[in-house]
């Protein structure tokens, strides 16, 4: 007599014999009793959980000549033919090998024929997710409205690959992984009926290896019975599957939690020499560490000291071990990867007084301190709320300004002074009072924009040397550069890319070109914005540059153009972040080059400086009341030739 595998010999013949899927068998039995059998079912779930078995039992129940209630009798000709696979009324289709549109068309042609001996023609399509899209489309109409004598049973392990249009036309049943207790009872029943003696330890190993699939468990039991001459021991199962004993896994856990990395590697070397599958070993160690983590979480409450941090360390080790399992799959040196993983786990899970844990605690304390400092900065408004920003504070004569950069920028060592320097206390010579610089605004002149001055790290600020500092307005930059009566330096460009020396600001001739080029960019900024607007796929860039208070060219140095956004505009930081992307920045640089005919790099900045009015034009003249407000009502000493219009 031909030998039959255990999973085939012991395949359930009735709904009552299907193990671990009561939520499905009960529904089908009630549907059969009430005569409410659907025209299409979808059975999905992990492998070896009873999908195809349930489909065949349903087919026998629909065509049984002498049913036991609604259960198939298993003795009539129809039941025997269906069980043997020779029935003309039950058609099994393997969608993995018959997945094309031609096979589905043939099915559609044959479905119209009535059953020969039974009441229903049952079409069982296994691994239905393997059908092609055209095949699914061809099946759709037939599946939706089949003949009254036809029933479809679709089975798959990957229901997410089945089109929604197919799913919506079926009653779906999800098969679960079979419980360990249910599987143990079934395996003992099969072993006893087959004359196989199985130790309890061997049975536990088989169930663990099956991972919820009863068919896999029966196959392992069948193989183990052949390996051990029908008396299966735990050692036999270990040899057959290539797994290691529980005490070896416990030894690994103790070495890892004790921080003894060297002994871990020695033990791994012994197992490697014995021919152990290292990837399987990594999975077993990870599973054992998972069990240790669950025990620590369940029994760790109320303890102090090291027991409180043990779950965290075990969790980190578990992450490392699960990650190395995937890495070893494609590596030509899996042993090296596993050794590195074990060393990392041992260093993380070392004892409480170890150097690794001390370093971990120090790092955690530093992170907590930094988080507290950042929270304080965000709370007092010194730091914009949100992530992705760094700040650079700049000081001059007791005043502080803040310039924000995105993290992708790298500010230079220079400190940028972006607020006007207050005069007084003898700093700017005899006879001057605080605010004299602002008092020198000619009638009808535009509102001043303070000089941005770059101070090198290795040079002292001018206030310290007693040298006068005087702002130079945009309109009179050239004249101020040529003037030397008060030793006012020519303007220099500020920002992370600015020239890092005072000498560059004292030589007016060297900066005239940059000032003139900046003026050219400012004059053509509207043309640049208009070119962005008319360019294809640049709508987002146009929105970022023109939204809210808009943007403007604020400085230029060393071939780097700084484009600023106003800090008080709520969208400024978002616009800065979006424009910092390489794609947006490259597009804007190409447009600037095409309009200005100059090769310039672009950086972006959010500044407290008030932006120019529409189109980057100059602001309206300052009034008498505005000038008085600048100096908080204090009387100022002005030159005789200065007057204000009412």
pLDDT exceeds 90 at position 426: no
Which range of 128-142, 358-372, 540-554 scores highest in mean pLDDT? It is 128-142
Q: 417: which 2 tokens?
A: 């002074």
Residues 6 or more apart whose Cβ sits within 8 Å of residue 307? 296, 300
* pLDDT at site 621: 53
Contact 268, 342 (CB under 8 A): yes
pLDDT exceeds 50 at position 168: yes
pLDDT tens digits for 608-637?
Answer: 777 775 444 444 455 556 555 555 555 555
Cα separation, 442 vs 566, whole angstroms: 27
Contact 4, 11 (CB under 8 A): no
Q: Can you tell me the mean pLDDT for 120-142?
A: 91
pLDDT exceeds 90 at position 348: no
Q: Which of 57, 45, 59 is nearest to 155 (CA)?
A: 45
Q: Which of 174, 230, 166, 238 is nearest to 202 (CA)?
A: 238
- The gap from C-alpha 479 to its chain's centroid, in whole angstroms, comes to 56
Q: Can you tell me the mean pLDDT for 166-187?
A: 93
| % of the chain at pLDDT higher than 70 | 70
* pLDDT at site 386: 44
Per-residue pLDDT band for 519 (boundaries 50, 70, 90) equals confident
Contact 500, 454 (CB under 8 A): yes
Return the higher-pLDDT residue of 342 and 510: 342
pLDDT exceeds 80 at position 604: yes
**Cα–Cα–Cα angle for 298, 299, 303, rounded to 5 degrees:** 135
Q: 501: which 2 tokens?
A: 């020396």
**Low-confidence winner among 265-279, 324-338, 529-543 (lowest mean pLDDT):** 529-543
Residue 386, helix vs strand vs coil: coil
Return the higher-pLDDT residue of 385 and 504: 385
* pLDDT at site 96: 87
pLDDT exceeds 90 at position 32: yes
Residues 6 or more apart whose Cβ sits within 8 Å of residue 488? 468, 470, 472, 480
* pLDDT at site 549: 74
Would you call 157 exposed, middle or buried from its count of C-beta atoms within 10 A (0-12, 13-18, 19+)? Answer: middle
pLDDT, mean over the chain: 75
Q: 477: which 2 tokens?
A: 């930059």
DSSP 367: H
**CB atoms inside a 10 Å sphere around CB 290:** 15
* pLDDT at site 628: 57
* pLDDT at site 300: 52
Cα separation, 205 vs 18, whole angstroms: 23
* pLDDT at site 33: 93
Through-space distance between the first and last CA atoms of the chain, rounded to whole angstroms: 119
Return the higher-pLDDT residue of 377 and 639: 377
Task: List the beta bridge partners of residue 552.
Answer: 564
Task: List the beta bridge partners of residue 392.
Answer: 403
Q: Which of 311, 265, 312, 319 is nearest to 292 (CA)?
A: 311
Cα separation, 384 vs 577, whole angstroms: 13
* pLDDT at site 124: 94
**Cα–Cα–Cα angle for 588, 594, 599, rounded to 5 degrees:** 75
Q: Which domains does the chain have, with CATH numbers?
A: 6-174 (3.40.50.300), 180-241 (1.10.8.60), 246-352 (1.20.272.10), 389-496 (no CATH)
Q: 92: which 2 tokens?
A: 């099994």
* pLDDT at site 453: 38
Q: Can you tell me the mean pLDDT for 570-586?
A: 83
Q: How far is CA 119 from CA 82, 84, 111, 150, 545, in A?
A: 13, 18, 14, 9, 74
* pLDDT at site 63: 92
Phi/psi zone of residue 150: left (φ > 0), alpha (ψ -120 to 50 degrees), beta? beta
* pLDDT at site 614: 42
């Amino acid at each position: 007599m031909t030998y039959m595998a255990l999973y085939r010999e012991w395949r359930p013949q009735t709904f009552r014999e299907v193990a671990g899927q009561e939520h499905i068998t009960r529904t089908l039995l009630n549907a059969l009793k009430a005569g409410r059998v659907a025209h299409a079912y979808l059975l999905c779930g992990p492998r070896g959980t009873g999908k195809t078995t349930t489909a065949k039992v349903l087919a026998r129940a629909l065509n049984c000549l002498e049913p036991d209630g609604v259960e198939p009798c298993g003795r009539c000709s129809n039941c025997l033919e269906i069980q043997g696979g020779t029935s003309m009324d039950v058609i099994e289709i393997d969608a993995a090998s018959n997945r094309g549109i031609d096979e589905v068309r043939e099915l559609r042609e044959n479905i119209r024929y009535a059953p020969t001996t039974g009441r229903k023609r049952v079409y069982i399509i296994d691994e239905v997710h393997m059908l092609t899209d055209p095949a699914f489309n061809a099946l759709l109409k037939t599946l939706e409205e089949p003949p009254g004598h036809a029933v479809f049973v679709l089975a798959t392990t990957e229901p997410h690959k089945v089109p929604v249009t197919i799913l919506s036309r079926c009653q779906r049943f999800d098969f679960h992984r079979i419980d360990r207790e249910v599987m143990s009872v079934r395996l003992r029943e099969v072993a006893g009926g087959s004359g196989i003696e199985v130790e309890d330890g061997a049975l536990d190993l088989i169930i663990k290896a099956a991972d919820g699939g009863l068919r896999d468990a029966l196959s392992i039991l069948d193989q183990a019975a052949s390996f051990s001459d029908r008396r299966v021991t735990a050692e036999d199962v270990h040899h057959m599957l290539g797994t290691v004993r529980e005490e070896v896994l416990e030894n690994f856990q103790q070495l890892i939690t004790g921080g003894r990395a060297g002994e871990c590697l020695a033990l791994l070397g012994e197992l490697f020499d014995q021919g152990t599958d290292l990837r399987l070993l990594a999975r077993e160690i990870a599973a054992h560490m998972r069990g240790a983590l669950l025990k620590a979480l369940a029994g760790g409450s109320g303890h102090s000291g090291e027991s409180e941090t043990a779950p965290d360390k075990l969790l980190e080790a578990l992450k490392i071990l699960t990650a190395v399992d995937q890495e070893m799959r494609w590596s030509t040196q899996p042993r090296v990867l596993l050794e590195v993983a074990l060393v990392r786990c041992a260093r993380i899970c070392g004892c409480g007084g170890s150097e690794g844990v001390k370093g971990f605690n120090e790092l955690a304390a530093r992170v907590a301190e930094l988080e507290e400092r950042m929270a304080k900065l965000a709370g007092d408004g010194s730091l914009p709320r949100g992530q992705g920003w760094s700040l650079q504070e700049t000081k001059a004569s007791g005043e502080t300004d803040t310039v924000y950069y995105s993290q992708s920028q790298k500010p230079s060592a220079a400190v940028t002074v972006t607020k006007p320097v207050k005069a007084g206390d003898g700093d700017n010579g005899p006879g001057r009072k605080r605010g004299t610089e602002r008092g020198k605004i000619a009638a009808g002149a535009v509102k001043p924009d303070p000089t941005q001055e770059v101070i090198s790290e290795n040079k002292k600020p001018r206030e310290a040397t007693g040298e006068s500092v005087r702002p130079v307005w945009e309109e009179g930059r050239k004249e101020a550069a040529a003037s030397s009566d008060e030793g006012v330096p020519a303007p220099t460009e500020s920002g992370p890319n600015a020239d890092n020396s005072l000498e560059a600001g004292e030589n007016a001739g060297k900066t005239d070109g940059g000032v003139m080029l900046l003026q050219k960019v400012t004059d053509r900024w509207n043309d640049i914005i208009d070119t962005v607007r008319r360019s294809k796929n640049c709508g987002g860039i146009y929105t970022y540059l023109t939204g809210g208070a808009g943007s403007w060219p604020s400085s230029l140095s060393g071939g780097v153009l700084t484009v600023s956004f106003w800090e008080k505009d709520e969208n400024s930081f978002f616009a800065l972040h979006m424009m910092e992307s390489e794609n947006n920045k490259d597009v804007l640089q190409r447009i600037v080059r095409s309009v200005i005919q100059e090769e310039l790099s672009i950086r972006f900045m959010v500044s407290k400086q008030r932006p120019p009015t529409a189109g980057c034009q100059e602001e309206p003249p300052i009034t008498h009341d505005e000038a008085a407000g600048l100096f908080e009502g204090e009387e100022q000493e002005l030159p005789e030739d200065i007057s204000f219009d009412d």
